[in-house]
Structure 1
Amino acid sequence: MTEPNHNEDWSLHAYADGEIAGSEGRALDERLAEDPEARAKVEAWRRQKAWLKEAFDPVLDEPVPAQIKAALRHRRGFTLSPWAIAAALALLIIGAGAGWFANLQMSAPQAKQFADLAIEAHEIYTHENRHAVEVAASDGDHLTTWLSKRIGQKLVVPDLTARGYTFMGGRLLAAGAQPAAQLMYEDQAKRRITIFVAANQTNKETAFLVTQKDNVTACYWLDGPLGFVIAGETGREDIVSLAHLVYQSFEM
């Protein structure tokens, strides 16, 4: 199978958003029926879109802060309709991805949704052969510097060799509206695990929590400035044990 080019990626994005119909839509239907990798990407984007809607909608029902109302008035005596205020507030929230949205996204009650994003990314990229990572482990210093800068917190690469896992490299992804890092490891049997890390703007903490989707088990937790998910096709006991190693690596 040839790698999709950027135009094909944009077509898949548009298809996921319901913006392609007619003959082009039917052609993509046929392609997705025979291309499980592309189909997985479309399904993941649709789930993320639904998750974003779920995260934003409750905020639009909250009272608009006085300072935002004031900013939306461009002259004395001018007021905006509730619908206009809601629309403007939505744009402000989207534009301030590290602000209100990050607080919603990384709060403890929604940590499960954070884990779901990490599992989707795990399922997509661990099945890649040539492009499983964006930056290889051989360029590890550049990788950690780059990802640390993007997520806004110091990133380390946990050493999991004692458990038989070799570091492959990593990539930049997204957790909703904010940057996230994915680190990938592989054992001698070619089984892969991933560590998904993003900034936790609330600084709230949780205990280790475990979730499972199909054959992927994930352990996730919030710890001060960062949120973590470690995922793999392994058992609960094994993934929690690996999570302890990751936790200790960031506590050093």
Structure 2
Amino acid sequence: MQNTKSPSIEARLSAYLDGEVDENERREIDQLLARDAEARRLLEHLKQGSAFGASGFEAFLHDPVPLSLARRIRQGTDINPKHERVVGAPRKQRRKLWRGALAASCGMLLIGGSTGYLIGRTIDDNTPPTPVVKARTWLDDVTDAHRVYSRQPRHLVEVTAENDEEIRNWLTASTGVSFAIPDLSANKLTFQGARLLVAAGKPTAQLLFKDEDGEVYAICFQRSPTTDDSGRMIESMRDDLALISWNEPGATYVVVGPSATANFKDLADAIADVM
């Protein structure tokens, strides 16, 4: 039996797995795998490590894009922090930028492949790779609910805007959070009514508004044990939806709306002042 622990065998099997061997080498490795259980075990470890590394890299590629960057892209503004337009840069500078981008891309691929290979070396024979799953938060549930109800124009709310006193009493009793319904007419938003949601297992209030184009905005809040009174706002984006969330003592809030909204931060500030 060949010494399948040697680096040369591992390198050959890695190249074989990536389809980077010629026909003669492929036949030799096929013969080795047919007669050598240790070689087959090592190949299986390499496959598991490669798949795990690829899944981790794929998750990295699908991480949410920062809201400020996405908004600039949608609005066609310059995303270069020094306000230098790459298109109009000198030829030599463009070559440097292109080479830098190419080097960074190659580096990321090498890191992903190396990580998968090393993970494959350390996986126990009977232990499959553990997938990395991000825990859901209340913002995920709020986002899902917004997508569903914003597409139901005839059933957008449970209680309509005319019953504002009923809405305040109902949602305060249900969530344990006192609030005021903000007047957002200066932001060209009209109050439509309210719903009661469940997010992260907690009753969650949802106040719904529409702009002049029929786009739906929501203010959601729920009881929270937080004592943070900094009011620090956190921006995030879920595909075509923008979210700005913040905490107040005893409650947590989020505003949800189209990601292309130019004055979204100003809107969130106006809402936070009233809530």
Counterpart-to-counterpart distance in 2, 1:173 and 1:237: 28
1:10-66 Cα distance to aligned partner (Å, 9 max, x none): xxxxxxxxxxxxxxxxxxxxxxxxxxxxxxxxxxxxxxxxxxxxxxxxxxxxxxxxx
> C-alpha distance in 2, partners of 1:176/1:127?
22
Preserved CA contact (<8 Å) 2:191 2:210? yes
User: What CA distance in whole angstroms lies between the structure 2 residues aligned with 1:111 and 1:248?
Assistant: 31
Map 1:88-99; keep pairs closer than 5 Å. none
* Unaligned ranges ≥5, structure 1: 1-109
Q: Which residue of 2 aligns with 1:137?
A: 161
Q: Which residue of 2 aligns with 1:167?
A: 191
Shift of 1:178: 1.5
Please tell me whether the aligned partners of residues 218 and 229 of structure 1 are also in contact (alpha carbons under 8 angstroms): yes
Which amino acid is the alignment partner of residue 172 of structure 1?
Answer: L
Code of the aligned partner of 1:219: I
Q: Give 1:243 deviation, angstroms.
A: 0.8
Match of 2:138 in 1: 114
TM-score by structure 2 length? 0.48
Give the deviation of 1:228 after TM superposition: 0.6
1:214 paired to 2:248: no
Query: 1:235 is matched with which residue?
Result: 260
1:191-236 deviation line (CA, Å, top 9, x unaligned): 1100111011232345100111111011011111211110111336
1:131 shift after superposition: 0.7
What amino acid is the match of 1:195?
Answer: I
Work out the CA distance in 1 between the residues paired with 2:207 and 2:198.
13
- Residue 151 of structure 1: which of 151, 171, 175 is its match? 175
With structure 1 as the length reference, what TM-score do the two structures score? 0.53
Shift of 1:159: 1.0
Letter in 1 for 2:256: A
Paired residue for 1:202?
226
Preserved CA contact (<8 Å) 1:182 1:194 = yes
In 2, Cα distance between equivalents of 1:236 and 1:154: 28
* Distance in 1 of aligned mates of 2:159 and 2:135: 27
For 1:128 and 1:224, how far apart are their aligned partners in 2? 33
Please report how far the alpha carbon of residue 123 of structure 1 lies from its aligned counterpart in structure 2 after TM superposition: 0.9
CA 1:113/1:239 → structure 2, altered by over 3 Å: closer, same or farther?
farther
SS for the counterpart of 1:119 is helix
- SS of the aligned residue for 2:226 comes to coil
Secondary structure, counterpart of 1:130 in structure 2: helix
- CA displacement at 1:111 relative to structure 2: 11
After TM superposition, give the deviation of residue 153 of structure 1 in Å: 1.8
Task: Give aligned-pair identity as a percent.
Answer: 27
**Aligned to 2:218, what secondary structure does the other structure show?**
strand
Alpha-carbon distance between aligned partners in 2 of 1:178 and 1:241, rounded to the nearest angstrom:
28
Q: Distance in 2 between matches of 1:139 and 1:236?
A: 28
Change (3 A) 1:236 1:131: closer
Q: Is contact 2:241-2:257 (8 Å) kept?
A: yes
- Report if the CA contact (8 A) 1:210-1:218 is conserved: yes
Aligned residues: 141
The ranges of structure 1 where at least 4 consecutive aligned residues each deviate by more than 4 angstroms after the TM superposition are none
Q: Is the 8 A contact 1:210 1:236 kept in 2?
A: no
Mapping 1:47-86, distance limit 5 Å: none
Q: Does 1:124 align with 2:117?
A: no
Go from structure 1 to structure 2 and tell me whether the alpha carbon gap of 1:208 and 1:154 turns closer, same or farther (over 3 Å shift). Answer: same
Letter in 1 for 2:228: K
Relative to 1, partners in 2 of residues 1:112 and 1:223: Cα closer, same or farther, differing over 3 Å? Answer: farther
CA RMSD of aligned residues (A): 2.0
Letter in 1 for 2:251: L
Verify the 8 A CA contact 2:237 2:259 in the aligned structure 1: no
Q: State which drifts further: 241-250 or 116-125.
A: 116-125
Query: Which whole-Å CA distance do the structure 2 matches of 1:211 and 1:175 have between them?
Result: 17
